[in-house]
């Protein structure tokens, strides 16, 4: 049996709904062996972020080397990277280990408003990491920050995707969770064409970690050999099920249900 392996380079969410925890749960649910390189520890729950404790650059590098040299990496995703130093180190490791299936979730701000990326790290994200990415998966505020454009319409989303692609990313997937309306529209631009992934918008406050979970599902599917487009389709179904079959944990923005997709018969 071939075991597919995915690495997440991200922050820890003690509350278990986002970050490394969401990524590893999602990898497991989709039948992929998950490994991790922690960039920061956050003290976090459904009410917000109560502390951020970054790892040293050497600690991040050593974790990536340990995984790459022994276990192997079929695909990797990045989440919370926090500082320019960590971004630069991760970019160098991607090149050194010749990682190609790189999914960048450009995490900037937690749902409650806490910064998870230092402002001065934006330039490193754009110039060092994005050119190495197979896919980047910004939400709407992140797409606005990277493209320096305001997104109010589907046309704006398309223009922003083109601007982001011009930074050297092969595929840009702008997630539509922050839009309004009865339907969510996630837009994929592959450098030539646009593809839309839609779902019924669920009226719930329990959407903590939706972005991490979505990009982790894409990463797992790409580890198994799926195309970016097919991976996005599966990720959309995975997150739709995870939000719809909510589990109501904590008194703030609760996590999604990472096992819902499997329970419905997906794998």
Ligand X SMILES: Nc1ncnc2c1ncn2[C@@H]1O[C@H](COP(=O)(O)OP(=O)(O)OP(=O)(O)O)[C@@H](O)[C@H]1O
Question: Which residues are catalytically annotated?
Answer: 175, 207, 209-212
Q: Which x/- pattern, by CB under 6 A, does the window 161-190 give for ligand X?
A: --------------xxxx-----x-x----
And the tokens for 160?
A: 């922003």
How far, in whole angstroms, is CA 254 from its chain's centroid?
A: 18
**19 scored as a contact of ligand HMH (CB under 6 A):** yes
Query: Phi and psi of 102, rounded to 5°?
Result: -110, 120
**228 scored as a contact of ligand X (CB under 6 A):** no
Which of 199/255 has CB closer to ligand HMH?
255
Alpha-helical regions (H) of the chain: 19-29, 57-70, 84-96, 122-124, 140-147, 154-165, 210-223, 228-244, 260-263
Residue choice 6, 212, 222, 231 for contact with ligand X (CB under 6 A): 212
Name which of 152, 216, 172 is nearest 24 in CA terms: 216
Q: Which x/- pattern, by CB under 6 A, does the window 42-81 give for ligand HMH?
A: x-x----------------------------------xx-
Which of 26/44 has CB closer to ligand HMH?
44
From the CB of 79, what's the least distance to ligand X, in Å?
A: 9
Q: Which residue is nearest to ligand X (CB)?
A: 211
C-alpha distances (whole Å) from 70 to each of 63, 141, 264 are 11, 38, 35
173: which residues sit within 8 A by CB, 6+ positions away?
135, 136, 137, 138, 186, 187, 188, 189, 218, 228, 232
Binding site for ligand X (CB under 6 A): 18, 111, 139, 175-178, 184, 186, 199, 201-202, 204, 207-212, 214, 236, 239, 243
């Amino acid at each position: 049996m071939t075991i597919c392996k995915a690495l997440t380079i991200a922050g820890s969410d003690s509350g278990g709904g986002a970050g490394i925890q969401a990524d590893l749960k999602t990898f497991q649910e989709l039948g992929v062996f998950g490994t991790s390189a922690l960039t920061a520890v956050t003290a976090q729950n459904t009410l917000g972020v109560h502390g951020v404790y970054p790892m040293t650059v050497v600690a991040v590098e050593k974790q990536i080397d340990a995984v790459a040299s022994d276990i192997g990496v079929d695909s990797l995703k990045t989440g919370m990277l926090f500082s320019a130093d960590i971004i630069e180190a991760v970019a160098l490791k991607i090149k050194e280990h010749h990682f190609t299936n790189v999914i960048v979730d450009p995490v900037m701000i937690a749902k409650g408003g806490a910064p998870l990326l230092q402002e001065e790290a934006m330039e490193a994200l754009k110039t060092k990491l994005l050119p190495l990415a197979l896919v980047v998966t910004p939400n709407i505020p992140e797409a606005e920050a990277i493209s320096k454009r305001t997104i109010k319409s589907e046309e704006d989303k398309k223009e922003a995707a083109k601007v982001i692609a011009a930074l050297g990313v092969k595929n840009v997937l702008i997630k539509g969770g922050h839009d309004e309306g009865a339907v969510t529209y996630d837009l994929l631009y592959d450098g030539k064409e646009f593809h839309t992934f839609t779902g019924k918008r669920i009226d719930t406050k329990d959407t903590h970690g939706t972005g991490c979970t979505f990009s982790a599902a894409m990463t797992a599917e790409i580890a198994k050999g799926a195309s970016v487009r097919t991976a996005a389709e599966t990720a959309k179904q995975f997150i739709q099920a995870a939000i719809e079959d909510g589990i109501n944990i904590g008194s703030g923005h609760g996590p999604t249900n990472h096992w819902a997709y499997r329970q419905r018969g997906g794998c």
